[in-house]
């Protein structure tokens, strides 16, 4: 039996991030991927690749989740970009009606191109309505600051402190990503489940962020949990998938490169 993984995420048409990346990651890890779209992002090549953002109607989001959960037995879901308070309400209501074992939340806080006012409402709604439903959360450096309330995170020790605070506030397993932002030779992620703290390290590959790395990490955690891995095992595999996907990144005409999952082998 092939295990099923659902992503509730935005479309990023160029294939670098969002639902497209999640589905590729699910497939590469041997799960059957399904997707409910929350919004459509189209970068604007005429305007410095800014994000053109269109939310999907809340009822249409609910319909998609109804359809895919009616067809499949799904116990593991990934939540990616939501984008508006109305979208968050719709997804929170759909999640609350069902009982998923694993809800992996990539807490995408700010998307360029959104108005700051709207983004603040969205961030607050994410904290109030989505985090309480999550079982596993994957904040990047910026999101770890916002969710932990810390003023700065400049070391692995501080990233660990942030992971602990997020765990204690929201009762979730945390995989906090240092990425290229923390100084040092290694890209360090910190796993904390309330019991054990584990640093996952890999040598940095360049100094630039690669589009879709965060989506890939959370999607890989989701796929592994769907297959029955423990949270720590899932985090370790996900780190390896991200390293491979960055090593095999794909350039194009935009000023950023995108992850490619297709060469990862377990
Ligand atoms: O990488 C964050 C992200 C997630 N989801 C969608 C996106 C982006 C960034 O561009 O467009 C749909």
What pLDDT, on a 0 to 100 scale, did the predictor assign at position 243? 96
Name the residue ranges covered by the structural domains of the chain: 3-247
User: 25, 23, 35, 96: which is closest to 61 by C-alpha?
Assistant: 35
Distance 21 CA to ligand 1 centre (A): 9
What pLDDT, on a 0 to 100 scale, did the predictor assign at position 119? 81
What pLDDT, on a 0 to 100 scale, did the predictor assign at position 114? 56
Q: What is the mean pLDDT of the chain?
A: 94
* pLDDT over threshold 70, residue 201: yes
Tokens standing for residue 43: 């970068």
What pLDDT, on a 0 to 100 scale, did the predictor assign at position 17? 95
Q: What share of the chain is helix, strand, coil (3-state, %, to 5)?
A: 40, 25, 35
Atom of ligand 1 nearest to the CA of 211: 1
DSSP states of 158-187: HHHHHHHHHHHHH--EEEEE-TTTS-SSEE
What pLDDT, on a 0 to 100 scale, did the predictor assign at position 110? 67
For 7-19, what is the mean pLDDT?
Answer: 97
Atom of ligand 1 nearest to the CA of 19: 12
Please tell me the least confidently modeled range out of 7-11, 50-54, 68-72. 50-54
What pLDDT, on a 0 to 100 scale, did the predictor assign at position 117? 62
70/207: higher pLDDT: 70
Architecture of domain 3-247: 3-Layer(aba) Sandwich (3.40)
Q: What is the pTM of this model?
A: 0.96
Tokens standing for residue 46: 């005429």
What pLDDT, on a 0 to 100 scale, did the predictor assign at position 21? 98
Distance 249 CA to ligand 1 centre (A): 16
What pLDDT, on a 0 to 100 scale, did the predictor assign at position 115? 59
Share of the chain above pLDDT 90, in %: 89
For 12-36, what is the mean pLDDT?
Answer: 97
Task: Give the mutation target among 81, 84, 113 for probing the ligand 1 site: most ligand atoms within 8 A of CB.
Answer: 81
Distance 65 CA to ligand 1 centre (A): 20
Nearest CA owner, ligand 1 atom 11: 12
* pLDDT over threshold 60, residue 198: yes
DSSP states of 95-152: HHTS--SEEEE------TTS-HHHHHHHHHHIIIIIGGG-SEE---HHHHHHHH--S-
What pLDDT, on a 0 to 100 scale, did the predictor assign at position 228? 98
* pLDDT over threshold 80, residue 206: yes
Question: Using one digit for the tens of pLDDT, what is the confidence trace for 222-264?
Answer: 999 999 999 999 999 999 999 999 999 999 999 999 999 999 9
Please tell me the least confidently modeled range out of 41-55, 116-130, 157-171, 240-254. 116-130
Nearest CA owner, ligand 1 atom 6: 18
What pLDDT, on a 0 to 100 scale, did the predictor assign at position 111? 58
* pLDDT over threshold 80, residue 184: yes
Residue 221 phi/psi, 5° resolution?
A: -55, -45
How far is Cα 265 from Cα 66, in angstroms, rounded to an integer?
A: 33
Task: Give the mutation target among 24, 40, 42, 80 for probing the ligand 1 site: most ligand atoms within 8 A of CB.
Answer: 80
Question: Using one digit for the tens of pLDDT, what is the confidence trace for 83-137?
Answer: 899 999 999 999 999 999 999 999 988 655 555 666 888 889 999 999 999 999 9
Nearest CA owner, ligand 1 atom 5: 18
196 Cα distance to chain centroid = 22
Q: Which residues line ligand 1 (CB under 6 A)?
A: 9-12, 17-18, 41, 80-81, 108, 214-215
């Amino acid at each position: 039996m092939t295990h099923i993984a659902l992503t509730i995420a935005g479309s990023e048409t160029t294939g670098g991030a969002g639902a497209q990346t999640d589905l590729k990651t699910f497939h590469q890890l041997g799960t059957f991927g399904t997707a409910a779209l929350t919004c459509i992002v189209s970068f604007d090549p005429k305007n410095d690749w800014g994000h053109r953002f269109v939310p999907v109607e809340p009822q249409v989001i609910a319909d998609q989740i109804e359809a895919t959960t009616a067809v499949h037995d799904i116990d593991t879901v990934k939540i990616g970009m939501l984008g508006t308070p109305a979208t968050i309400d719709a997804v929170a209501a759909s999640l609350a009606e069902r009982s998923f074992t694993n809800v992996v939340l990539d807490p995408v806080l700010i998307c360029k191109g959104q108005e700051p006012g709207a983004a603040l409402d969205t961030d607050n709604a994410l904290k109030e309505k989505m985090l309480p439903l999550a079982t596993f959360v994957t904040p990047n450096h910026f999101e770890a600051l916002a969710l932990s309330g810390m003023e700065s995170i400049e070391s692995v020790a501080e990233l660990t402190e942030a992971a602990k605070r997020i765990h204690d506030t929201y009762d979730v397993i945390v995989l906090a990503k240092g990425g290229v932002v923390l100084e040092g030779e290694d890209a360090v992620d910190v796993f904390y489940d309330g019991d054990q703290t584990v640093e996952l390290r890999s040598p940095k590959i360049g100094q630039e962020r690669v589009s879709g790395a965060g989506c890939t990490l959370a999607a890989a955690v989701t796929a592994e949990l769907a297959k029955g891995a423990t949270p720590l095992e899932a985090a370790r595999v996900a780190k390896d998938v991200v390293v491979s996907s960055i090593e095999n990144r794909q350039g194009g005409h935009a000023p950023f490169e995108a992850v490619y999952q297709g060469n990862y082998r377990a």
